[in-house]
């Protein structure tokens, strides 16, 4: 399998391209977890995965916080949050939305921050680092630097909670579009994407990221000195049948029951590669702690 000729932006150029993407997307990112029923399931799966790790008065660094859906969840659980993102536009929207929700008092500071460079924070500074929605999928060849940096700045018993884009699940979720791309660009491009998870191999792709398998993600955590506490897919059962899901959502009891089943299915080992995202909770391995 040959790699495609490398005309894609790498290193800092990738960071700039993704910042521009999210600056331009603006409010569009705010709607991702509310506009359709699959998005609302994704929000609930991410929220339910996070909440068991939240105790009162934690100091949390949120990386790639975007427009603030999870900043608000953290604030609802009385966390003090340092909100960060690579995109100044998303940081501004975060301020607007968190203030509108009445939680601005929970925000200690807001900074532009690349997930790959947390050097401004001393070791063992935070009770938790939250990196939902793919900041680690935008680190590309610097993913070890990024995750090791997040594990460094949590306290010895602190937790890193993150989600990345899923390789096999994205294929499942976007089967027609992915198949069209495979036909259009041929075997070399398709092989390169499957082998590396890196969408920068697709010519002209605007929203690029690195997708992971559960095995690759757990290997990354281990290589960065971490140990896995829990994992989950997002949207195992709920990628298809939006009409059926909409019907379920109309009944609070059915919706709650469905979300409980979906949360259990997503957490099972057999499903972890099957949703749009892969969620992970990790901490520093004991021997790797200062």
- Which range of residues in 130-138, 171-179, 216-224, 243-251 is near ligand SAM by CB under 6 A? 130-138
Q: Quick one: tokens of 33? A: 């977890």
Which of 49, 103, 121, 132 binds ligand SAM (CB under 6 A)? It is 132
**18: contact with ligand SAM by CB under 6 A:** yes
- Number of helices and strands in the chain (H, E): 11, 7
Q: Taking the complex as a whole, how short is the minimal distance between the CB of residue 186 and ligand SAM, in angstroms? A: 29
**162: contact with ligand SAM by CB under 6 A:** no
Single out the residue of 43, 114, 31, 104 nearest to residue 72, CA to CA: 104
**86: contact with ligand SAM by CB under 6 A:** yes
CA neighbours closer than 13 Å in the CB half-sphere of residue 118 = 33
Query: Whole-angstrom Cα distance, residue 71 to residue 283?
Result: 21
- Which range of residues in 5-13, 59-67, 154-162, 218-226 is near ligand SAM by CB under 6 A? 59-67
**114: contact with ligand SAM by CB under 6 A:** yes
Percent helix, strand and coil across the chain, each to the nearest 5: 50, 20, 30
Nearer to ligand SAM, 92 or 289 (CB): 92
**133: contact with ligand SAM by CB under 6 A:** yes
Which of 38, 75, 115, 151 binds ligand SAM (CB under 6 A)? It is 115
**197: contact with ligand SAM by CB under 6 A:** no
DSSP label at residue 138: G
Q: Taking the complex as a whole, how short is the minimal distance between the CB of residue 248 and ligand SAM, in angstroms? A: 23
Residues 26-45 that bind ligand SAM (CB under 6 A): 29, 33
Alpha helix positions (H), the chain: 12-25, 28-31, 37-50, 69-76, 88-100, 143-153, 167-173, 175-196, 214-223, 242-250, 252-267
Write the CA distances from 252 to 108, 145, 248, integer angstroms.
35, 43, 8
**63: contact with ligand SAM by CB under 6 A:** yes
**235: contact with ligand SAM by CB under 6 A:** no
Helices 37-50 and 69-76, packing angle to 10 deg: 40
**Which parts of this chain interact with ligand SAM (CB under 6 A)?**
15, 18, 22, 29, 33, 63-66, 69-70, 85-87, 90, 113-115, 132-135, 138
């Amino acid at each position: 399998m040959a790699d495609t000729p490398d005309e894609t932006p790498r290193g800092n150029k990738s960071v700039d391209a993704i910042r521009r993407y999210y600056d331009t997307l603006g409010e569009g990112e705010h709607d991702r977890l509310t506009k359709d029923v699959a998005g609302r399931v994704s929000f609930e799966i991410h929220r339910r995965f996070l909440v068991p790790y939240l105790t009162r008065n934690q100091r949390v660094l949120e990386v790639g916080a975007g427009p603030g859906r999870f900043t608000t969840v953290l604030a609802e659980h009385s966390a003090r949050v340092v909100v960060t993102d690579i995109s100044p536009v998303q940081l501004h929207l975060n301020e607007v939305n968190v203030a509108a929700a009445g939680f601005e008092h929970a925000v200690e500071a807001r900074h532009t921050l690349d997930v790959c460079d947390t050097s401004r924070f001393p070791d063992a500074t935070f009770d938790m680092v939250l990196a939902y929605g793919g900041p680690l999928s935008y680190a590309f060849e610097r993913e070890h630097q990024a995750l090791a940096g997040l594990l460094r700045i949590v306290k010895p018993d602190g937790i890193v909670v993150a989600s990345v884009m899923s390789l096999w699940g994205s294929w499942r979720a976007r089967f027609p579009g992915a198949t069209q791309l495979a036909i259009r660009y041929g075997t070399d491009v398709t092989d390169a994407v499957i082998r590396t998870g890196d969408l920068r191999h697709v010519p002209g792709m605007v929203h690029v990221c690195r997708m992971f398998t559960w095995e690759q993600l757990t290997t990354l955590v281990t290589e960065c000195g971490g140990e896995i506490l829990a994992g989950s897919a997002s949207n195992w059962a709920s990628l298809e049948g939006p009409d059926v899901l909409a019907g379920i959502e109309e009944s609070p009891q059915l919706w709650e029951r469905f979300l409980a089943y979906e949360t259990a299915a997503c957490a099972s080992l057999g499903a972890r590669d099957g949703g749009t995202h892969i969620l992970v909770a990790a901490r520093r391995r004991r021997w790797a702690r200062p």
